[in-house]
Structure 1
Amino acid sequence: MVDSKLRPTRRRVLTAAGALGAAAVVPGLSLAQAAWPNRPVTVICPWGAGGGTDATVRIISSLLEKDLGQPFNVVNRTGGSGVVGHSAIATAPPDGYTLGMLTVEIAMMHWQKLTDLTPASYTALALMNEDPPGLTVAANAPYQNVKQLADAIKASPAGKFKASGTGQGGIWHLALGSWLQSLGLKPNHVAWVPSNGAAPAMQDLAAGGLDIVSCSLPESRALVEAGKAKSLAIMASERNPAFPTVPTLKEGMGADFAAVGAWRGIAGPKGLPADVSAKLVASLKKVNDSKEFRDFMANRGFGVKWADAGGFASFMANSDAAMGVAMKAAGLVT
């Protein structure tokens, strides 16, 4: 016999349900999912503080926080040419409380045998940004334009020039290698120095440890404006309106060449609950459409590119296939 004091009465059940909220008694929907987010969310950035990925994920997180009413705390998890941070996103519990920003490197790292992770290892949520690469040198470098830089590289022995901007085999490495091939050189003619992102690479450039950084123009902006670096060209078919004085390669040296750029998007671990994903996609769409986000990106010269969960998943799959071809052509993978 069950003690009457322990037997759940109809009144007790209704009182408990009321205390937990009406969503708790909706069939098939757990309280944790219905109430998401009911505590702070961690957003992982796979690259260093101060770079383009860091800046982009921080403005997105701050606007998600305003819309969803909980802190979205950015944590930089660097190392392993992006593997450390991307792994942390993929292996987090799929409960919506750990998200992250995927970068183009997730479509590249597995080709290099650095990780088994691919774009399919995640729950895609939204593509937010895409940027082409640029070529930046120290302010005291003797090159006044990109043609002078190209001529100096061609006249130098292999390995004399050193460049960086991301990890070994990352998107900015691919951009530089592809440009060198367009000059008739081997893609490793300029030695690549791996870094945890554009920000530390730019610091090394200003300190004299590098000759070239091939990151996006927005990522080089701070040190260019501080008078410690100068951007010679953008590897795109058109100038960036935020950097109107920086010519394209075609304008600067007659080269009809444009490199594949970086992209960034928000994702969660594989298996994120459908209702949490839907809520995130809706909020990310608000972020994308907001004046605050658009002004932030425009003022820094970052490109804005939107795709919802399905579109982002397809975009990453296409990028993955294209990167395999491009990296093999550039000699970065076999």
Structure 2
Amino acid sequence: MTHRTRRAWLATALAALSLGTTALPAAAQGNYPSRPVTLIVPWGAGGGTDATARIAASLLEKELGQPVTVVNRTGGSGVVGHAAIAAAPPDGYTIGLATVEIAMMHWQGLTELSGASYTPIGLINADPAGIQVRADAPYKDVKDLLAAIKANPGKFKASGTGQGGIWHLALAGLLRDQKIDPTSVSWVPSNGAAPGLQDMVAGGIDIAPVSLPEARSLIDAGKIKSLAVMSDKPAALYPQVPTLKAATGSNWTMAAWRGIVAPKGLPNDIRDKLATAVRKVAASKEYTDFMASRGFGVVYAGPEDFGKFMAKSDQELGATMKAVGIAK
């Protein structure tokens, strides 16, 4: 091979190598992310899920070195946004903030999506249900309330969300766990915790099984009291409120939760990079201080544990929805 031929061969080889490298996906080059990331939120601007998404996005930007833009995709009781996350290319440039509703919607026949439709990245929030009653209610603890419900089926009313919503299922699941007919408390649908709580203060209902952050202002105003929290440990917001386990011996827990997910099929290297970033966000002072200021609970689980958590949530909610006759 002449010197000129050798140089020509070398140039051709280098060019081919260069083209091959250029054609490789970003993940293979190890430079993910090389452009902005979109974070889809299945709920509207201004709510707790939106607030959680926006603080997480701002901190993810610092970890990933690229802009993270929050996009609200609302509609269909959360189906539209969750479907948009699942349908995006699994390249790490579209992720989403999945919520507890993903473990409920398919049981209602609204979608075929479930937690298994995604690549789990990290659980970053959970707000357990509480058992709130009026401040002048005669029940000194949750055992008194449960005994009264059992003795007077059909007498009590509860509210705090729509029919079949997370707080409805929280109460129904507790009653079922305590061997009480879950339909023995009438559910009055509402457009959320706030109107349900106001209805209770006005005397329209007896129980509001909503989260402590949602009940915070009325608890602090002395208008309602919380008898227990459906968690395995006391809430940081009100550590004096006993857990169900401490109050009744029940292992029943239920919480509204939020976590970062990506479309199914995300390459492992991108998943790992996102998971590391999410873990750092969840542990950061900026995030924990923000969530504490809102009364939101900070709970972290990595990809594997988050996947197991979603599967458990799906199973428990499905069983409860069947028990109250709202599963399709």
Pick the TM interval, shorter chain.
Answer: 0.7 to 0.9
Candidates 157, 161, 180, aligned match of 1:161: 157
Indicate conservation of the 8 Å contact 1:49/1:76, yes or no.
no
- Does residue 1:202 correspond to 2:194, yes or no? yes
Query: Cα offset for 1:177?
Result: 0.4
Does structure 2 conserve the Cα–Cα contact (< 8 Å) formed by 1:129 and 1:305? Answer: yes
TM-aligned CA distance change 1:278 to 1:157, over 3 Å: closer
Matched, 1:259 2:252: yes
**What 5-or-longer segments of structure 1 have no aligned partner?**
1-9, 15-21
Which of 273, 277, 281 is residue 287 of structure 1 equivalent to?
281
Deviations 1:223-264 (CA, angstroms, capped at 9, x unpaired): 433555432221235432431232234655xx2224232333
Aligned CA distance change for structure 1 residues 180 and 315 (closer, same or farther; 3 Å) = closer
Q: Deviations over 1:43-70 (max 9, x none)?
A: 314477433x444333322211232344
| Corresponding letter in the other structure for 2:271 | S
Report SS of the residue matched to 1:127.
strand
Mapped to 2, the partners of 1:33 and 1:195 lie a distance apart of: 49
Three-state SS of the structure 1 residue aligned to 2:125 is: strand
Which residue of structure 1 lines up, in the alignment, with residue 40 of structure 2? 43
Taking the aligned partners of 1:119 and 1:250, their CA distance within structure 2 comes to: 27
Kept in 1, the 8 Å contact 2:232–2:253? The answer is no
Question: Is it true that 1:132 corresponds to 2:124 in the alignment?
Answer: no
2:95 counterpart (99, 103, 110)? 99
Matches within 5 A, 1:142-291: 145-147=141-143, 149-150=145-146, 153-154=149-150, 158=154, 161-165=157-161, 167-182=162-177, 184-194=179-189, 200-207=192-199, 208=202, 210-225=205-220, 229-249=224-244, 255-262=248-255, 263-272=257-266, 274-291=268-285
Aligned CA distance change for structure 1 residues 97 and 204 (closer, same or farther; 3 Å): farther
Contact 2:85 2:94 in 1 (8 A): yes
**CA apart distance, 1:217:** 2.0
Larger CA deviation: 270-279 vs 260-269: 270-279
AA in 1 matched with 2:258: R
Task: Report if aligned partners of 1:86, 1:102 keep a CA contact under 8 Å in 2.
Answer: yes
Letter of the structure 2 residue corresponding to residue 128 of structure 1? I
The question of whether the paired residues in 1 share the 8 Å contact of 2:282 and 2:298 is answered with no
Structure 1 residue 81 displacement after superposition:
4.1
TM-score by structure 1 length? 0.73
* Runs of 5+ consecutive residues of structure 2 not aligned to the other structure: 1-10
What is the root-mean-square deviation in Å for CA atoms of aligned residues? 3.9
Q: Give deviations 1:126-183, integer Å, cap 9, x for gaps.
A: 1223443211235576766435544554565627513124x54344322200222355
Asked if the contact 1:43/1:101 (under 8 Å) is kept, the reply is yes
- Cα distance, 1:318–1:230 mapped onto 2, change above 3 Å: closer
Partner of 1:320: 314
Distance 2:51 2:276 in 1: 22
Change (3 A) 1:313 1:178: closer
Secondary structure of 2:300's counterpart equals strand
Deviations 1:285-318 (A, max 9, x none): 21123233334445636142321x3443343334
* TM-score of the superposed pair, with normalisation by structure 2: 0.74
Count of aligned positions:
309
* Residues 138 and 206, structure 1, Cα contact 8 Å, conserved in 2: no
